[in-house]
Amino acid sequence: MAKIKPGKGHPYARILGVGGYRPTRVVPNDVILETIDSSDEWIRSRSGIETRHWANDEETVAAMSVEASGKAIADAGITAGQIGAVVVSTVSHFKQTPAVATEIADKLGTDKAAAFDISAGCAGFGYGLTLAKGMIVDGSAEYVLVIGVERLSDLTDLEDRATAFLFGDGAGAVVVGPAKEPAIGPTVWGSEGDKSETIKQTVPWTDYRDGHVDKFPAITQEGQAVFRWAVFEMAKVAQQALDAAGITADDLDVFIPHQANERIIDSMVKTLKLPEHVTVARDVRTTGNTSAASIPLAMERLLATGEAKSGDTALVIGFGAGLVYAATVVTLP
């Protein structure tokens, strides 16, 4: 039996650069209140959201991704031609095939980089980051571009009081490359498919195509069930990620959870007993829930504002439809 040679990879991987793109249109709660019976106070108290960004016709999934990726590549100090793989996490690219990653790789000017999409909802960035780390260590790629991007305004039912105020659009990207010491910890990830009905698309595309329903499919959720799961179960997963990385909450500098809801974030901070010195991402207030884009967008903003700095140790965790989740500890670029 022939022996297969191992890949010529690197011992470790790290995030080298980050970039984000938020659509130009800022949508305040007042706009949402035109179609649902609620109030600005109720929306803020239940979610922490004050504004969100909605894309225009030109701000496509691909266009937003290219903008965010260009910033991440520049931040990493490399060229697009050095990117060996492009991984895009999205649930709002409406072409079943080809993958939007191939269009993005071409527009960026990569040298025939491997390119594919993944569908892991709000945990998608963590899934992509884990895949990228594996490619670097295995030697399949020297640099990997991981993108989280959504146009959730296309999948929002503006008459659904439970979700109309939640979702926003945007793209976040990171470049992952080789490192001389551990900078992306072990990933604690998984799925709980028995709870898949708690966050879902209202109907399949075929139901709309065949005229069984008049309303375009949208994302809906059982708010209380999602809240309980996120607060109690995801705090456990976050702790497991800390344990896997061999650190404690006291060792953290930054906490970047999926920006789903500020009440969930506050509850996780309390359950994890994070010290006062830990900076907590609260990008949800002005960006809303952007699913796979929320963690890299929040990371980019913390670094841009100086609330976090290069070399900080951060706990990141994404969780959402599936139900799926992924948590890890990273060194910020």
Q: Name the active-site residue from 29, 93, 258, 261.
A: 258
Q: Name the active-site residue from 29, 53, 93, 289.
A: 289
CA dist 19 and 27 (Å) reads 22
Residue 175, CA atoms < 13 Å, CB-side half-sphere = 28
Beta strands in 199-322 (DSSP E): 199-201, 219-221, 254-257, 279-280, 313-320
The β-bridge relationship of strands 85-89 and 114-118 is parallel
Question: 219 in helix, strand or coil?
Answer: strand
Buried b (16+ CB within 10 A) or exposed e, 18-53: bbbbbbeeebebebbbeebeeeeeebeebbbbbbbb
Structure-token pair, residue 40? 């600005």
261 belongs to the catalytic site: no
CA 19 to mean position of chain CA atoms: 13
Q: Name the active-site residue from 122, 212, 261, 277.
A: 122
56 belongs to the catalytic site: no
258 belongs to the catalytic site: yes
CA dist 59 and 21 (Å) reads 10
* Residue at 65: amino acid letter: S
Catalytic residue positions, numbered: 122, 258, 289
